[in-house]
Amino acid sequence: DRPTQAADAAAEVPGKSESSESTTADQKDIADHKDKLKGRYVRVKRDKDGEPLAMETAVIRFHPAAKKAEPVIVDLVGAVHVGEKSYYDELNRRFKKYDVVLYELVAPEGTRVPREGRPASAHPVSAVQNGMQSMLELAHQLDCVDYTRDNFVHADMSPEEFAKSMKDRGESFMQMFFRMMGHGIAEQSRDPQRSQDRQLLAAMFAKDRALRLKRIMAEQFESLEDQTGVFEGPEGSTVITERNGKAFERLREQLDAGKKKIAVFYGAGHLPDMEERLSRDFGMQRVRVQWIPAWSLTSPEKP
pLDDT digits (tens, 9 = 90+) for 199-210: 666 656 567 777
pLDDT at 67: 84
At 122, which amino acid appears?
Answer: A
- Cα–Cα–Cα angle for 290, 18, 21, rounded to 5 degrees: 65
pLDDT of 17 higher than 50: no
Residue 28 inside a domain? The answer is yes
Residue 165 inside a domain? The answer is yes
Rounded mean pLDDT of 45-63? 96
**Counting every residue, how long is the chain?**
303
Residue 22 inside a domain? The answer is yes
Between 43-47, 89-93, 119-123, 296-300, the lowest mean confidence (pLDDT) is in 119-123
Residue 111 inside a domain? The answer is yes
Phi/psi at 155 (nearest 5 deg)? Answer: -140, 65
**Cα gap 4→49, rounded to integer Å:** 27
* Boundaries of domain holding 143: 2-296
pLDDT at 172: 60
Asked whether 269 and 224 are in contact (CB, 8 A), the reply is yes
Residue 166 inside a domain? The answer is yes
What would the pLDDT profile of 160-184 be if each residue is shown by its tens digit? 998 898 888 777 665 555 555 554 5
In percent, the amount of the chain with pLDDT more than 70 equals: 64
DSSP assignment of the chain: -HHHHHHHHHHSSSSHHHHT---HHHHHHHHHHHTTTTT-SEEEEE-TTS-EEEEEEEEEEEEESSTTSPP-EEEEEEE-SEE-HHHHHHHHHHHTT-SEEEE---SSTT----TT-PPP---HHHHHHHHHHHHHT-EEHHHHS-TTSTTEEE-S--HHHHHHHHHHHT--HHHHHHHHHHHHHHHHHH-GGG--HHHHHHHHTSTTHHHHHHHHHHHHHHTHHHHHTTT-BTTB-IIIIIHHHHHHHHHHHHHHTT--EEEEEEEGGGHHHHHHHHHHHH-EEEEEEEEEEEEE-S-TT--
pLDDT of 5 higher than 50: no
- Cα–Cα–Cα angle for 258, 259, 264, rounded to 5 degrees: 140
Residues 6+ apart with CB under 8 A from 90: 292
In percent, the amount of the chain with pLDDT more than 90 equals: 47
**Cα gap 257→218, rounded to integer Å:** 39
Confidence of residue 20 (pLDDT cuts 50, 70, 90): very low
pLDDT at 228: 56
pLDDT at 224: 58
pLDDT of 8 higher than 70: no
Number of domains in the chain: 1
Rounded mean pLDDT of 267-283? 94
123 vs 287, which has greater pLDDT?
287
pLDDT at 206: 60
Rounded mean pLDDT of 18-37? 44
Residue 301 inside a domain? The answer is no
Q: For the chain, what is the mean pLDDT? A: 78
pLDDT of 7 higher than 80: no
Residue 30 inside a domain? The answer is yes
What would the pLDDT profile of 29-50 be if each residue is shown by its tens digit? 444 444 444 568 999 999 999 9
pLDDT at 13: 43
6 vs 259, which has greater pLDDT?
259
Between 10-14, 158-162, 174-178, 215-219, the lowest mean confidence (pLDDT) is in 10-14
pLDDT at 166: 83
Residue 215 inside a domain? The answer is yes
